[in-house]
Amino acid sequence: MYIAIAGNIGSGKTTLTEILTKRYGAKAYYEDLDNAYIGDFYNDMSRWAFHLQVSFLGNRIRQTLDMLSSGEEVIFQDRTIYEDAHIFADNLHRMGLMSSRDFATYMKIFDLTTNLVPQPDLLIYLKASIPTLVSQIKRRGRDYESNIDEAYLERLNEKYENWINNIYQGEVLVIDKDVDDFVNDPEVVDRICERLEKLDCKK
């Protein structure tokens, strides 16, 4: 069973991954935040956008190969390769922060990798408003995120909504982080697990 957790910056992906991994005694694959370009990117997005996205994509390809060879029965993944392309790279291109030439090159690489990536059995989408995202970003206190513009987060939210509603073809469970506090409300986690158990019964 392959479960992917998707959502904007600060939506709680890593926290939910940790909760579910512990609950199921499962293998987790976290987003690799140790990226050599991320600090430079937040200081000068147009200069480093392509470098950052290609670096993230390379990390995701490596992670995917690890997933495929792990033999684990249950896998939870913090962020997907689809988000790298359809949310972040596309947004940077449309903002004029990634040139059309660079974006075309990036998408060629992405298209080659999608055949290596199994579609998740379930995608858990963490939907969150800008105030919720900003609050959680400030709470975790990462220096390179301190200057994130709210308008940037809003554009990402719009892209997530479009991706979930109009592009992504797999099965989706939407969790509204504004009201569903899976950190402090065990009933929210129980509800998520009920969905996972139904999914497992189908196999």
Of 32, 44, 78, 90, which residue is the catalytic one?
78
Residue ranges of the domains in the chain?
Answer: 2-201
Q: What is the CATH number of domain 2-201?
A: 3.40.50.300
Contact predicate 120/77, CB 8 Å? yes
Q: Is the pLDDT of residue 146 over 70?
A: no
23, two tokens: 């609950």
Phi, psi at 145, each rounded to 5° = -100, 0
198, two tokens: 């139904």
Q: Is 12 left (phi over 0), alpha (psi -120 to 50) or beta?
A: left
Would you call 78 a catalytic residue per the annotation? yes
Q: Is the pLDDT of residue 200 over 70?
A: no
CA distance 63 to 57: 10
Q: What is the pLDDT of residues 64-94, one digit of tens each?
A: 888 878 888 899 999 988 999 999 999 999 9
pLDDT score at 144: 64
pTM of the predicted model over 0.85 = yes
Q: Which of the four pLDDT bands, split at 50, 70 and 90, describes residue 143? A: low
pLDDT score at 176: 96
